[in-house]
Structure 1
Amino acid sequence: MKYKVLIACGTGIATSTVIAKRVENLLKENGYEASVEQCKVVEVSGKANDYDLIVASTKVPESVKTPKVQAINYLTGVNMAKTDNEILEIMKNISKE
C-alpha cells in the first residue's frame, strides 16, 4: 500500500522541506512506500482527510483527526529518534487497518 504523508510548516517551503526529506528517508528505510507533500499549516485542516499522516513543524489544529506528529526535533537536532519512533509507531498502527 502506498501511504500519503502531509508535511506542514508556516510557509510550506523552508522547514517543511527539511522535515519532508527526513520523513521520506525514514519511511523508505523502514519499508513504507509513501508520497510526501508539503503545505502551509493553515492549509492542513482542508487537506487532512486525504492523508494517512501529518508531520508538522508547528501545532496542528485539534479538529484535525488524521494522525499527526509535531517534528520540531528535526529542525533543532535534539531527540530526533523520539520523533522517528512516533512516526514509525503511527505507520505500524495504520498499516494494520
Structure 2
Amino acid sequence: MKKVLVACGAGIATSTVVCNRVENLLKENGIEAEVIQCKIAEVANRQDDADLIVSTTILPTQYKIPAVIATAYITGINMEALDQKIIDHLK
C-alpha cells in the first residue's frame, strides 16, 4: 500500500480539499493508498515511510521522495494534468 502526505501551511484548510480529491482520485484508479493530511512542517519527519508529497504550499526544502504542488486543485486550472502526475508517481 502506498502512502501519500497531503500538506499545507496549517494542515487544515486547503489540505482538506486536496486530501479529499486525492483520496477519490486514487480510489477511481484502483491505487491502494493511505492519504495523510499534515502541516508542511511535519513532512520532513514523515517522509521516510511515505511515497509522495502533495503540497498546497511552496516546499521549504527538498525531500527524499517525490513532491508535487497541488495548487491546481485550489484554482481549478489544469486539474487533470495534476491528477495524471499523481497517478504516474504512484503506479
| TM-score, with length taken from structure 2 | 0.93
Pairing of 1:1-97 with structure 2 (within 5 A) = 2-92=1-91
> Corresponding residue for 1:95?
none
Give the aligned residue type for 1:28: K
Contact 1:44/1:60, CA 8 A, preserved across alignment: no
How far off is 1:56 after superposition?
Answer: 0.5
Gaps of 5+ in 1: 93-97
- Higher RCO (CA 8 Å, separation ≥ 6 residues): 2
Aligned length: 91
Q: Cα RMSD between the aligned structures? A: 1.0
For residue 17 of structure 2, give the secondary structure of its aligned residue in structure 1: helix
Give the aligned residue type for 1:26: L
Give the aligned residue type for 1:51: A
Gaps of 5+ in 2: none
Identity in percent = 55
Runs of 4+ in 1 over 6 A off after TM superposition: none
Q: Provide, for residues 43-68 of structure 1, a one-character-per-residue CA deviation record: whole Å limited to 9, x for no partner.
A: 11111112111100012244302111
